Structure 1
C-alpha cells in the first residue's frame, strides 16, 4: 500500500502504515476490509489537507474535533456518498484513531462520540398479486406431509390475506378462530391489540390445516406446530418459503414479511384508505405506513383529495 499519494507528514504516514500492517498481520482482517480502511483514511487525510491548507500531521490528528469529522462527512455527502458509505468511512477513521489512542498518540473521544449516519430502512419488495396467491396455493403441494403443506398454506394465507407479522401469525391459538369467523383479534408490538378482517379463503386454509394436523390443539395453546408438535418457529416458515420461491422461480425478495408488505401495497393500489391500512397493520404512526407502502407526496394528496371531508374539488 503506497503512502506517496497521501498528503500527510512522514511520521503520520509511518504510523498509518504500521496500523494497516497490524490489521493485516495480527488481526488478520479480510483483504477487502483492509483495502476499505486504507481508502477511508486516505480520503480523510486528503480532505484534512484541504481543510487545514497543509499536509496533515500527528498533531492535527491529536486535536481533531467532532466538527472536523462532521465537515468531512458533509464534504463526502456533497460528492454523492450515501449513508451506508459514510458509515463505512467513519468506521475506518474510528479504527485508526482508536489504535493511535492505545499507543498514547491521540484522543479518539471526539470520533467515538460521532454517530454513524442513519441508514435508510430497507423494506421488502411487494410481490405481484398472482405471485402472492401462487405461494399460498403451492404451499399445499410441495411439502411431503399433507398436514405440513396445509399448515404452510394457512400461514401464508394469514400473512398475505390479513397482513400479519410472522410472529403474530405463529402466536395465534385455536381460540382466536372460534370467537368470530369474520375477524381476528391480534396482539402486536407494544402489546397493542387490533381487529383485522378474516377472509373466507384464510379461514378455510386454517380449517383444512386443523383437520389434518396430527396433534391435539388446545384452545389456548399455539395453533401452528412443527413436525414434533412444538410451537412452529419463524425459521421453519422462512425455510419453507425459500423452497417455495425456488420452485416457483421467484426472487429472493419473496419472504414471509414480503407477504405482509404485499397485503398493504395491494390494498392501497386498489384504492384503500391509508389510515385504515395503518390500523390493519398495527403501525403506531401514519408516516410508518407511508414508508411501508412506498407512498409519495402526490399519492397522499390524491388520497386526501378523494377521501377527506374538507378537501375541495373543482366543479
Structure 2
C-alpha cells in the first residue's frame, strides 16, 4: 500500500484507499485478497508515474487512453507475468474504476475496450486415493529424531485437508473447541460459512495429536502448534508436502491444495451429488465445482484408452 503515497497524487491515493476499504467492509474480502488487489494498484501507479512523468491525479487517471492501459499490460508481460495474473490485475483496475465512478470521483470508458488475456483451461490435478491416503498418513518421513507429537500433528492436519476438503488456512485456523464437535463450522473465502462432517479418520487423527501434544490446548486457542508452541504456520505444511513428494515419488502438482482437489474428485467418482460437493467445498457458484466433472471425465477416457482393445 505504501507505493500509493509516492506514486499517486493525494486525491488518487485517497481514492485507492477508499476502494480497498470498501472491498473489506462491503465485499468482506480476505486480507490476502486485499493485499493482492493493493499490490496490483501499486504496480499500476508506479508504471503510470513513470509513463506520465509525474504522480497521476484523479484527472490523469480519467484521461488515460486504451494505449496507456495496454502499455501497462505490455510492460507486465515483458516482466514475465503470466496471463492469470494479468487478468487479475485488469480485474483490479476495473473494480477500482467502477468504485471511482460510483463515488463521482472520475470515470474512464477506455477500460471497457480492453480484453482480458486468454487463460489456459486448467483442470485440478488430484492424487489417486492410494497416494492421497499415503500423503495424509505423513509417515514416509518418520525418523527416530522426529518427536511423535509432530508426526501426529502432521497426520492430523493432512487428514483434515483430505477427509474434510479444507483449505490449509481453514485447517490451521481451527480452535480446540471447534474440533470437539461432530461437524466443523468453517468460515471460508468471502466469509462464507459451511458445515463439514468430521469423519472418524480425521477425528481419530486429531485425538491422537491432542493426546501427544506437549503444549496446553485451551478452548478457543489454535489447535495446531509449531515446535515452540506458537500457532502452526502454513509454510511448515507446504514444506512437509514438498518432502513427501520426494519420498513418495509424487509430481510437483502434489500440494496441500491437491488434497482438497482429491477430496472433491473422489467424492464425485463415488457418486456424490455435485450440489453436495459444492456445499462441502464452500463454493459460491456451482460452475466452480463443475470443473471436477472434467477431472472425472478425463480419468474415464484415460482408463478407456488404456483398457479397450479398439481404443
- Residue 147 to residue 123, structure 1, CA distance change in 2 (3 Å): farther
Q: Distance between the aligned counterparts of 1:154 and 1:296, measured in 2?
A: 27
Q: Distance between the aligned counterparts of 1:269 and 1:284, measured in 2?
A: 22
- Residue 297 to residue 136, structure 1, CA distance change in 2 (3 Å): closer
Is this contact kept in 2: 1:194–1:282, CA < 8 A?
Answer: yes
| TM-score normalised by length of structure 1 | 0.56
Q: Distance between the aligned counterparts of 1:238 and 1:296, measured in 2?
A: 26
How big is each residue's C-alpha offset from its partner over 1:183-223, in whole Å with a ceiling of 9 and x where there is no partner?
A: 21111112221111111111000001111111111110110
Structure 1 position 153, deviation (Å):
0.4
User: Aligned ranges for residues 182-201 of structure 1 at < 5 Å?
Assistant: 182-201=182-201
Question: What secondary structure, in the 3-state scheme, does the structure 1 residue paired with 2:178 have?
Answer: helix
Q: Distance between the aligned counterparts of 2:133 and 2:66, measured in 1?
A: 56
The equivalent position to 1:149 in structure 2, one of 151, 159, 164, is 151
Question: What secondary structure, in the 3-state scheme, does the structure 2 residue paired with 1:294 have?
Answer: helix
Is this contact kept in 1: 2:163–2:263, CA < 8 A?
Answer: yes
Gaps of 5+ in 2: 1-64, 71-81, 87-109, 299-311
- Residue 183 to residue 139, structure 1, CA distance change in 2 (3 Å): farther
Gaps of 5+ in 1: 1-63, 70-82, 88-109, 299-315
Match of 2:210 in 1: 210
- 1:162 and 2:169 equivalent? no
Q: Distance between the aligned counterparts of 1:163 and 1:296, measured in 2?
A: 17
Larger Rg: 1
Question: What secondary structure, in the 3-state scheme, does the structure 1 residue paired with 2:119 have?
Answer: coil
Q: Distance between the aligned counterparts of 1:231 and 1:271, measured in 2?
A: 37
- Residue 268 to residue 296, structure 1, CA distance change in 2 (3 Å): closer
How big is each residue's C-alpha offset from its partner over 1:272-294, in whole Å with a ceiling of 9 and x where there is no partner?
A: 10000000000001001012553
Is this contact kept in 1: 2:155–2:205, CA < 8 A?
Answer: yes
Q: Distance between the aligned counterparts of 1:111 and 1:188, measured in 2?
A: 31
Compare 193-202 and 273-282 and name the one that shifted more.
Answer: 193-202
Is this contact kept in 1: 2:178–2:185, CA < 8 A?
Answer: yes
| TM-score normalised by length of structure 2 | 0.57
Question: What secondary structure, in the 3-state scheme, does the structure 2 residue paired with 1:127 have?
Answer: coil
Q: Distance between the aligned counterparts of 1:177 and 1:278, measured in 2?
A: 22
Structure 1 position 114, deviation (Å):
3.5
Q: Distance between the aligned counterparts of 1:112 and 1:285, measured in 2?
A: 25
Q: Distance between the aligned counterparts of 1:207 and 1:233, measured in 2?
A: 20
- Residue 111 to residue 197, structure 1, CA distance change in 2 (3 Å): closer
Q: Distance between the aligned counterparts of 2:249 and 2:175, measured in 1?
A: 33
Structure 1 position 119, deviation (Å):
2.3
